[in-house]
Chains A and B, each alone.
Chain A
Amino acid sequence: MNSFTYTRASGVEAAVREKAADNAVKFIAGGTNILDLMKENVERPSRLLDLNHLPLKAIEAAPDGGLRLGALATNADTAWHPEVQKRYPLLNQAILAGASPQLRNMATNGGNLFQRTRCYYFYDTATPCNKREPGSGCSAIGGYNRIHAILGTSEQCIATHPSDMCVALAALKATVRVSGQNGERTVKFENFHRLPGDAPEFDHTLAPDELVTAIDLPNEDFSQHFSYLKLRDRQSYAFALVSVAAALQLDGNTIKEARLALGGVAHKPWRDQQAEELLKGQPATEDTFRKAAAAVVSSARGYGHNTFKIELAKRAIVRALKQAAEGTQHASDIFTNSNP
């Protein structure tokens, strides 16, 4: 860990200005990711600019009737907010499937979007890693890659985005509100994170001086048929090997609207709109779900240790869609959906 100074941001604009002026400044929110990375010598900011005193903690109605989640609201407060529980239970389930209660009490919504990959090599400065040190090589390809991506990978990087919350946000078609030097803008969730391509050092599409102020959930209802299914090596405090956010609107047994996003399989939360189209208008049967699952993994590629994820993803998609259709997420299968 290097020496650094610490200051509090006095306002959103000031924070953006200070960040723009110096590339070695980093924001800190809950600190649950940035501090770990600093201790591992992966992030080496010369100054931490603390966002925690900015007035971005509110969870309130958005102008279109949706819900606005402040960037500095904690993951715990978000998951347990009555409006989230009632109208966006998929998000509640996804957040609670992540990390541990202690971490969720500290972690913020903004920070969750920016959390970095858990690739072993990214964390270990003794090994080459293109994401950490562009051009040094990807150790995971040909190395130990059990937790790595099977979709949207590149020759330069096969890391995954580790978030659970973001998988639900992708499925719910959230938009991200951003403040920068040139004022405010909104970014569709699917355009927020990016695939590694030949620049794996960039996880997202924001400019370095941009700050996330809020996340907007659209005024849509997926509160009856949803599932967040997370498969992992232990029941808490472990990242997803594969996770699936499935949300449906049904008319009788016919699928009117479908959302399907995966975690743990790609450099970004992997929403598959083609598969969603395949589901729409079809009967909510296992057969339909299988077709959608096959479509999602049709372009998947394994790298050895992680090849099992292709089959696992397929089966998880079918199960999640089934749970969503049956509305059984709350029946709480203790083994796949406990949220300690």
Chain B
Amino acid sequence: MSTTSYIGKPVNRVDGPAKVTGAAKYAAEFNVPHLAYGHIVSSSIAKGKITKIYADEILAIPGVLQVFSHENVPSLAWFDRSYKDDVAPGGSPFRPLQGNEVKYSMQPVALVVAETFELARYAAALLRIEYEVTKHDTDLETKRDDGFEPGRGKTGWVPPPKPRGNPDKELKNATHRVEGEYIHLAQHHNPMEMFASTVEFLGDKKLNIYDKTQGAFNSQQYVMKVFGLSKDEAHVVSQYTGGGFGSGLRPQYQLFMAVLAALELKRSVRVSMTRQQMFSMGHRPHTLQYVELGTNPDGSLAALHHHALHETSQFEDYTENVVNWSGMLYQCDNVKLTYQLAKIDVYTPQDMRAPGAATGSFALECAMDEMAYAAGIDPLEFRLRNYAERDQNLKREFSSKKLRECYHEGAAKFGWEKRNPEPRSMRDGDLLVGWGMATGVWDASIQKCAASATFTADGHLTVLSGTNDIGTGTYTIMTQIAAQTLGLPLEAVTFKLGDTNQPEAPLQGGSWTAASVGNAVKQVCDKLGEQLLKLAQKMEGSPLKGAAYEDVEFVNGQIRLNADINQAVVIRDILPASGKDKLEAENTMLPNPINQLKNSLHAHNAVFVEVKVDPELGTLHVTRVVNAVAAGRILNPKTARSQVLGSVVWGISMALMEESVMDHGFGRYMNHNYSEYHIPVSADIHDIDVIFVEEEDDKVNPLGIKGLGEVGLLGVAAAVANAAFHATGKRIRNLPVSIDKLLL
């Protein structure tokens, strides 16, 4: 028996104790000596020019150190490329405090720095700013005819494939046809931890930067380029992140502000955002979608058209993959996918958990439900009938695809066969019961990633990779992989992340962290293992002499022969015996380009939802959810389940509550706080069942990991809306499905 086999086991979070005791420090909690505090002033107008800033009035207050604005910011990097981070979309990134132009409401226009936080906030409230107002334009609804196809988008964006077959003709000839427009407003990430940077000034231009981010290296590159610092001068640390959901993929403006103030004042400075300011940044864009479907007499899809138009800012062309999924999720030979942006006076949208897919799957999967009803086929049966055996977008085979099993296992657990398809037919007392389902698909990506490993004579293994743990469980699963690879107990392994002095890891996003960092950790540990084996073979009377690395296994603190497990060397004894105090290895894991290009690499899920609706009052509750996920190897069922539970809650939130409502008169989001921007509370969440369908995949990457951060969210909003239809007979295509829409 192996006691050091951890992969696939429900190991508790290794960072749990640090988090619950408060030992885990977040960016705004580093109380470095002689700290000054910055408070950001946000614009009250949506568009125009700053004509006057009465800085003198507040500089007169004792303890106020400086007011930074376009009037006194030193000249910084000149070219756009210096402001572009790893995932910047095309266009010209916003440069805080550079120029008097106001481009969107709540734009940061000044930073007040003072001796205390309270004083900075007070002085910021007093700062008078005069504007020359220009007419703004913030309503996507008025831009339906101004859409344009983006040029080069950001990393990871793929333009929709060219149309295939003859969709227009086949839609006309279809036996049954449905069409609909699906809408949601902007949504803001709102992680619990607000954006903050504490910049410790170490003299000259040397900085220690504690930043809230999903990628320390991305923040470092940005600071280096904008402020002309060396790698050594811009040391970024981000060991704990209180939620990200994509909001931390790009450096946020408090980082710029804090670094600017620290360099100018030659002093340590902290800048944190307020909750209200968390609505002044990237967001899931307001999107209008049109889907048209047609079927043949046998219920197969004859044709599909999916169009999306979403907002972007005036200065950057944010792109996400909204419609592409519709060309690969179902077998269909006549497909047209179109995608456009429209510019309005807002800040640039930003990736938010399952960007594009959460939006696209909502529209497609509602339309599939409508189509199933129009064709008189059960919605699950309809999907099975149109199951895609290969990826028609890429014209490739799937490396693995257990979506069929997701459908079957999910439906069985949910009891789908007991469903009466007739809307308003199922009841629980006076309440209407609705059952709906939907499907999701998400990329199984992997990125280049470096890691290092050090094994010391006391038997302890330390593995480093500068990734991030945004609450997903990265600390834990990497510890598991490292421990299992070298056959060590978990307690003998420490995994460290979130520091630009560590080997470089990609941004924590795109659900690629488990695969990228996981495989990197595995590789570097194997490299160390080879060294250990060599040393072990040199030990006196070593039973491992002549064995190749493949001939041995690292288990239970020993290296032992596969052929005879009693022939073993205790790993702890190796370094003392060889007289070394440590062994080190460093490695950069590169994805296998052939596997990456030959296959279609995706994770899938099927979601089943029960809602209960009070027919008179229009109140709706999601009483039951089953989410069956096929995402390759599950490294830790406990952290994995948490990811999917969180996704389901997020999906319910998207379906029933979330919207950043803009008053177009002011061009300003008006519900910019936790009190009025609603997300579910515990009482809104009932039973959630998570099923992981077994899926072995040796093509996606050596460890067979597909990632879980996002796929679980897909389909949830659509399944809720479909269940609402089944319960009430009302098709709501405009999220959120709120009481006012269900009532009327």
Contact = CB atoms under 8 A, between A and B. Distances in A.
Q: Are A and B genuine complex partners?
A: yes
Interface of A: 1-3, 41, 100, 118, 120-121, 123-127, 139, 142-144, 146-147, 231, 233-238, 241, 308, 311-312, 315-316, 318-319, 334-336, 338, 340
B420 to A, nearest CB: 22
Contacts of A236: 681-683
16 contacts: A2-B122, A3-B122, A120-B663, A124-B670, A125-B44, A126-B666, A127-B668, A231-B739, A235-B683, A238-B678, A308-B739, A308-B743, A312-B740, A319-B616, A319-B617, A338-B683
B654 to A, nearest CB: 13
A335 B682 contact: no
Contact of A233 (B44, B612, B657, B670): B657
Nearest to A232: B739
Interface of B: 44-45, 105, 118, 121-122, 125, 431, 612, 614, 616-619, 621, 656-657, 661, 663, 665-666, 668, 670-673, 675-676, 678-684, 738-740, 743-744
Contacts of A125: 44
Top 5 closest pairs, chain A to chain B, by CB: A126-B44, A235-B683, A308-B740, A340-B683, A120-B670
B660 to A, nearest CB: 11
A149 B562 CA distance: 76
Nearest to B42: A126
Given A118-B676, A126-B44, A234 B740 contact: no
A30 B647 CA distance: 36
Given A127-B666, A142-B665, A233-B738, A312 B684 contact: no
A335 B122 contact: no
A320 B678 CA distance: 25
A143 B665 contact: yes
A305 B61 CA distance: 44
Given A126-B44, A144-B670, A234-B657, A139 B744 contact: no
A125 B675 CA distance: 17
A308 B683 contact: no
Contact of A123 (B614, B621, B661, B673): B673
A237 to B, nearest CB: 5
Contacts of A120: 663, 670-671, 676
B680 to A, nearest CB: 6
B614 A312 contact: no
A161 to B, nearest CB: 16
Contacts of A238: 678
A319 B680 CA distance: 25
A238 B681 CA distance: 10
Contacts of B678: 233-234, 238
A85 B744 CA distance: 36
Given A118-B675, A139-B666, A340 B121 contact: no
B668 A315 contact: no
Contacts of A144: 661, 663, 670-671
A315 B616 CA distance: 7
Contacts of B663: 120, 127, 139, 143-144
Contacts of B121: 1
Contacts of B738: 233
B122 A308 contact: no
B681 A340 contact: yes
A2 B670 CA distance: 23
B614 A336 contact: yes
Given A233-B738, A234-B678, A340-B682, A315 B125 contact: no
A319 B431 CA distance: 13
Contacts of B680: 234
A156 to B, nearest CB: 18
Contacts of A334: 621
Nearest to B666: A127
Nearest to A237: B681
A146 B740 contact: yes
Contacts of B675: 118, 237
B743 to A, nearest CB: 6
Nearest to B662: A144
Contacts of B743: 308, 311-312, 315
A234 B740 CA distance: 13
Contacts of B618: 312
